[in-house]
Amino acid sequence: MKQSEYLKILNLAKSTLEDYDNWGETEIYKTSQKPSNKTIPEKQQKIFTKKPLTSKEQLESLRKQVDNCKECSLGTTRLKAVFGHGFANADLMFIGEGPGYDEDHKGEPFIGRAGQLLTKIIEAMGKTRDTVYIANIVKCHPMIDPSNPEKRENDRPPTPLEMQVCKKYLDMQINIIQPKIIVTLGASSTKGLLNREEPISRIRGTIQEYNGVKLVPTYHPSALLRNSSLKKFVWEDMKKVMHFLNTGEI
Ligand code: URA
């Protein structure tokens, strides 16, 4: 290649890469790849190469996209987008339905009554909210009366269309985190991911797969608040999940 062509490519690459703030400067041609032409000034023998983003950084960048998302009407009526919480390389991921009043006000998933019960379940499994990852199938609060986010008891399940539009963010989260196992909480997230019609009472505790990741559906914690006799089933399901995480067998 002629030196002028070579410099053109080098400069083009450099100016493209300079747009990113997380590029590190690295010398090239330290090895046998060094071209024999010695006339290239030393300054120009440097290009910018990308330091791979950590999972945490990738999630933060995705969080910003979600914060600005208005792809469905939920994005225009919610107070705060609720991206997710937890360890960016968690083995275990919980996926709920969608933010409610408390989550909408704080921007954190599962912090209301159902969330506090989920936290207890997680702790009973010997884990914490910071060692697992908690997310929802939709990131914005689905409201019965979207004009009144200050009203309590204004929650509704997301529609199939809302789930379909938002699922790409969850898919990206799963792809970044790469959990060993997913627990879907309740009918919405189970149906949204598996596209199955069975009631949650029938599909709970079964071993499913989503994009190559093991998945166990269980009851939503709000169902346990309404009917505490369901708690034993959730615990049965969580024991399966723990066994898998401890042994790799299911
Ligand atoms: N219910 C959910 O499904 N998700 C939350 O974040 C809170 C309550």
Is the per-residue pLDDT at 142 higher than 60?
yes
CB 217 near ligand 1, within 6 Å: no
100 alpha carbon – ligand 1 mean position (Å): 6
Helix (H) or strand (E) holding 136: strand 133-136
Residue 206's domain spans which residues? Answer: 56-247
* Residue to substitute in 85, 110, 141 for testing ligand 1 pocket (most ligand atoms within 8 angstroms of CB): 110
Q: Which is higher by pLDDT, 30 or 161?
A: 161
Own/partner pairs for 222-231, CB < 8 Å, 24+ apart?
222/113, 222/114, 222/186, 223/186, 224/117, 225/113, 225/114, 225/117
Is the per-residue pLDDT at 51 higher than 60?
yes
**Can you tell me whether residue 91 is helix, strand or coil?**
coil
Give the CATH number for residue 130.
3.40.470.10
pLDDT in tens, 8-47: 655 554 544 444 444 333 333 334 444 455 566 665 666 6
99 alpha carbon – ligand 1 mean position (Å): 5
**Would 160 be classed as within a structural domain?**
yes
Residue 93, beta-bridge partner list: 133, 182
**Would 87 be classed as within a structural domain?**
yes
Look at residue 159 in the predicted model and tell me its pLDDT: 97
Rg (CA), the chain: 23
20 alpha carbon – ligand 1 mean position (Å): 35
* Residue to substitute in 222, 225, 226 for testing ligand 1 pocket (most ligand atoms within 8 angstroms of CB): 222
Look at residue 21 in the predicted model and tell me its pLDDT: 44
Residue 184, beta-bridge partner list: 95, 217
pLDDT in tens, 86-117: 999 999 999 999 999 999 999 999 999 999 99
CB 104 near ligand 1, within 6 Å: no
CB 173 near ligand 1, within 6 Å: no
CB 244 near ligand 1, within 6 Å: no
**Would 45 be classed as within a structural domain?**
no
CB 237 near ligand 1, within 6 Å: no
- Average pLDDT of every residue of the chain: 89
The encoded tokens of residue 147 equal 């004009």
User: Average pLDDT of 176-204?
Assistant: 97
Q: Which atom of ligand 1 is nearest to the CA of 82?
A: 6
User: Average pLDDT of 167-181?
Assistant: 98
**Would 238 be classed as within a structural domain?**
yes
Going by C-alpha positions, the residue among 134, 140, 130 that lies closest to residue 114 is 134
Q: How many domains does one find in the chain?
A: 1
Predicted confidence band of residue 250 (pLDDT cuts 50, 70, 90): confident
- Secondary structure percentages of the chain, helix, strand, coil, to 5: 45, 15, 40
Predicted confidence band of residue 4 (pLDDT cuts 50, 70, 90): low
**Would 184 be classed as within a structural domain?**
yes
Q: How far apart are CA 121 and CA 115, in angstroms?
A: 10
**Would 72 be classed as within a structural domain?**
yes
Q: Which is higher by pLDDT, 179 or 22?
A: 179
Look at residue 49 in the predicted model and tell me its pLDDT: 78
Q: How far apart are CA 103 and CA 155, in angstroms?
A: 11
Look at residue 249 in the predicted model and tell me its pLDDT: 93
Predicted confidence band of residue 7 (pLDDT cuts 50, 70, 90): low
Cβ–Cβ under 8 Å, residues 128 and 86: no
51 alpha carbon – ligand 1 mean position (Å): 35
Predicted confidence band of residue 5 (pLDDT cuts 50, 70, 90): low
115 alpha carbon – ligand 1 mean position (Å): 7
Q: How far apart are CA 74 and CA 110, in angstroms?
A: 18
98 alpha carbon – ligand 1 mean position (Å): 5
80 alpha carbon – ligand 1 mean position (Å): 14
Q: Which is higher by pLDDT, 216 or 38?
A: 216
CB 100 near ligand 1, within 6 Å: yes
Look at residue 43 in the predicted model and tell me its pLDDT: 59
**Would 232 be classed as within a structural domain?**
yes
